[in-house]
Amino acid sequence: MTSSKKSLTALTLGAIGVVYGDIGTSVLYAIKEVFGSGHVEFIPANVYGILSIFFWTLTLIVSIKYVLLVLRADNNGEGGLVAMLALASQAVKDKPRLRRVLLLIGIFGTSLFYGDGVITPAISVLSAVEGLEVISPAFKSYVIPATLVILFGLFAVQKRGTAGIGKFFGPITLVWFGVLALLGVSQIVTYPAILQAVSPHYALTFMWTNPGTTFIILGAVVLCVTGAEALYADLGHFGKKPIRLAWFSVVMPALTLNYFGQGALLLKSPEAVKNPFYLMAPEWALVPLVLLATMATVIASQALITGAFSVTKQVIQLGYLPRLNIQHTSVRDTGQIYMPLVNWGLFVTIVLAVLLFRSSSNLAAAYGIAVCTDMLITTLLTFYVIRYGWKYPLWLCLAATGIFFVVDFAFFASNMMKLFAGGWFPLVIGGAIFTLMITWKKGRELLNSKLRSDAIDLPSFLESVFISPPARVDGTAVFLTAESGTVPNALLHNLKHNKVLHAQNLFVTVQNHEVPWIGLDKRLEIESLGHHCWQVVLHYGFKNDPNVPKALENLKDRGCELDSMTTSYFLSRDTVIPTIGGGMATWREKLFAQMHHNASGAADFLKLPNNSVVELGSKIEI
């Protein structure tokens, strides 16, 4: 019992550090952007109304939608948009047209995650470092250089892994939330009446009195819930209970107190709107507060970078991106990975965002569209999961998701007003990634279709080969083939050029599925083809790490034992040739051919031993 409590405490502390880092740093800029826009007059009724809108936005979107409802939609314990997409796809698998549409919508939402992944570290770190301007205006020229140096340091340490520093995330973020609460309380005690803003009456009155202003400021109000998607995405790491406990016991109270404290300060000193968060603190505390805020934003950014690695790996497994170089940074935790291309691609784009927008206020204009679109997509997919997956009545499903859809759509519509002020930036990034994803998926379908049309049936081929069998050599040959039951090109080349067949021959197909994990008991299927030849199918979920040699070790109980010293792995290295009038536009075929050429080798991705791999090339026109 004691160890169970200790484990819950550790997981809750970890959730505070990783899950809530992003939403915890929104206090740096959310209130400033709402009141600094000039749309809201500084009168008590308006301040009360805005704070009430903040409180009920956090309650509706985070507490009820994500913490209570969406967290229930776990995919074998895993969460996130990819897991939700897989659940929705499985729920409507008997409706192929709807399934295709949902897959496209879900993949588009996943693409927008990268747009969010660029804006979040940029705005978080920049807003923290802008505290230097509060200390002294002379530091203004150092804000952007200091931000870029911090970001470079953050991305440079990724290849070393975060296992070492990760244990400090929770305690530092817990201190951060404690400071947020303390700063809020220090202002609330001077104006305790501000706590009345908890009543929804003030939010409803403000919206009724100022409908136009409400619609405009929703684009800034949404900043208070940035990072809510991380709640669901990190479900597999921490579990529902620690995430819920961390939110209701620490995060929600600290955020509420801080926002209300900023409101109390603005009622007393409207000029504090230039940076209400830092101006709540006494002068002597500014330097340590800037340092603590910078650490908190780095932690928030780290969670998002780690999320980008994880999502990319899942998307690769689902077949929407080519294989990329994946390095494991921990011998104990398989989830700790590093992807050089994703890491430095993110860094370059974030630097571009910082240099292009130059302040957190300008970045706030770019923020929101991607987040709100993802929130809408999550709500939409949730409807299909609870309606078709869980078989709940239609009225209940509409009631459960309808109110969230209306709220999400209101935020989305308001944010669309920021499209030309910077909102285009994450959309361009998401659109580019989406184009790559659907081009890769369609290209793979065309390539596999071409291979199937040219393919020879494996059992029939082996039957004809063994009428007049070639020489057999010692050892085992493992032929990797995309389509089960077809003759791999590598086998044809081997017979043509080497004129031999190994003593044992395995024809292995790796199949990825729309579930996070597939256990070892369901990993392997084997079928004997006679003459010491076997057809093997290996099954992996989108969070499993494919490891062909390790999976094939289980064959020793099935009458087929492999000796690693005498096993060779044969791969077909296909070169794609785009053709005019093929299955895709010429530019997309050329893009696919380039992506196919630059994909990391299958040998590394499938963990094949480098000294036992034989690659045989062929050209394929699509």
Tokens of 239: 């579990």
Measured distance CA(221)–CA(560) in Å, rounded: 62
**Whether pLDDT at 218 is above 60:** yes
Helix ranges restricted to H, 319-418 = 340-357, 360-366, 369-384, 394-416
pLDDT value of position 262: 95
pLDDT value of position 69: 87
DSSP 475-525: EEEEEE-SSTTB--HHHHHHHHHT-EEEEEEEEEEEEE-SSS---GGGSEE
pLDDT value of position 565: 87
- Number of neighbouring beta carbons within 10 Å of residue 351: 17
| Residue 521 CB contacts under 8 Å (≥ 6 apart), including other chains | none
Q: 257 and 185 in contact (C-beta within 8 Å)? A: yes
pLDDT value of position 1: 42
Measured distance CA(451)–CA(483) in Å, rounded: 8
pLDDT value of position 188: 95
Measured distance CA(526)–CA(18) in Å, rounded: 42
Q: What pLDDT band is residue 212 in, cutting at 50, 70 and 90?
A: very high
436-462 confidence digits (pLDDT tens)? 999 999 998 888 888 778 778 889 999
Report helix, strand or coil for 545: coil
92 or 574, higher pLDDT? 92
Q: 158 and 2 in contact (C-beta within 8 Å)? A: no
Q: At 511, which amino acid appears? A: Q
Half-sphere exposure of 219 (CA within 13 A, CB side): 25
pLDDT value of position 57: 95
170-185 confidence digits (pLDDT tens)? 899 999 999 999 999 9
Domain 23-422 has CATH 3.40.50.300: no
The separation between the first and the last C-alpha atoms of the chain, rounded to the nearest angstrom, is: 61
| Residue 550 CB contacts under 8 Å (≥ 6 apart), including other chains | 607
**Whether pLDDT at 552 is above 70:** yes
Categorise residue 412: left if φ over 0, alpha if ψ from -120 to 50, beta otherwise.
alpha
Measured distance CA(128)–CA(28) in Å, rounded: 7
49 sits in which H/E element: helix 44-57
Measured distance CA(526)–CA(507) in Å, rounded: 10
Strands 500-512 and 471-480 turn out to be: parallel
Q: What pLDDT band is residue 4 in, cutting at 50, 70 and 90?
A: low
With a pLDDT cut of 70, the percent of the chain lying above it is 97
Domain ranges of the chain: 23-422, 450-621
Strands 613-621 and 567-577 turn out to be: parallel
Half-sphere exposure of 562 (CA within 13 A, CB side): 19
**Whether pLDDT at 334 is above 60:** no
Measured distance CA(170)–CA(174) in Å, rounded: 6
Tokens of 170: 């929770």
**Whether pLDDT at 512 is above 80:** yes
pLDDT value of position 602: 83
Closest by alpha carbon to 369, among 505, 265, 268, 218?
A: 218
The pTM assigned to this predicted structure is 0.86
22-60 confidence digits (pLDDT tens)? 899 999 999 988 988 777 887 889 999 999 999 999 999
7 or 191, higher pLDDT? 191
Tokens of 593: 């051919």
**Whether pLDDT at 187 is above 80:** yes
Q: 281 and 54 in contact (C-beta within 8 Å)? A: no
Tokens of 338: 């590093």
Task: Give the orientation angle of helix 340-357 with respect to helix 286-318, to 10 degrees.
Answer: 130
Q: What pLDDT band is residue 317 in, cutting at 50, 70 and 90?
A: confident
Q: 581 and 521 in contact (C-beta within 8 Å)? A: no
Mean of per-residue pLDDT scores for the chain: 88
In the beta sheet, which residues pair with residue 281? Answer: none
* Alpha-carbon distance values, 145 to 123, 140, 152, 315, 464 (Å): 14, 10, 11, 34, 70
The dihedral of CA 197, 200, 201, 203: what is its sign?
A: positive
Measured distance CA(416)–CA(408) in Å, rounded: 12
pLDDT value of position 331: 59
The predicted model gives 423-429 an average pLDDT of: 92
pLDDT value of position 366: 84
| Residue 55 CB contacts under 8 Å (≥ 6 apart), including other chains | 197, 198, 203, 256, 259
Q: Provide φ and ψ at 607, rounded to 5°.
A: 60, 40
131-176 confidence digits (pLDDT tens)? 888 888 888 889 999 999 999 999 988 887 765 566 788 899 999 9
Categorise residue 77: left if φ over 0, alpha if ψ from -120 to 50, beta otherwise.
left
| Residue 319 CB contacts under 8 Å (≥ 6 apart), including other chains | 440, 441, 444, 512
Q: What pLDDT band is residue 6 in, cutting at 50, 70 and 90?
A: low
Measured distance CA(197)–CA(71) in Å, rounded: 28
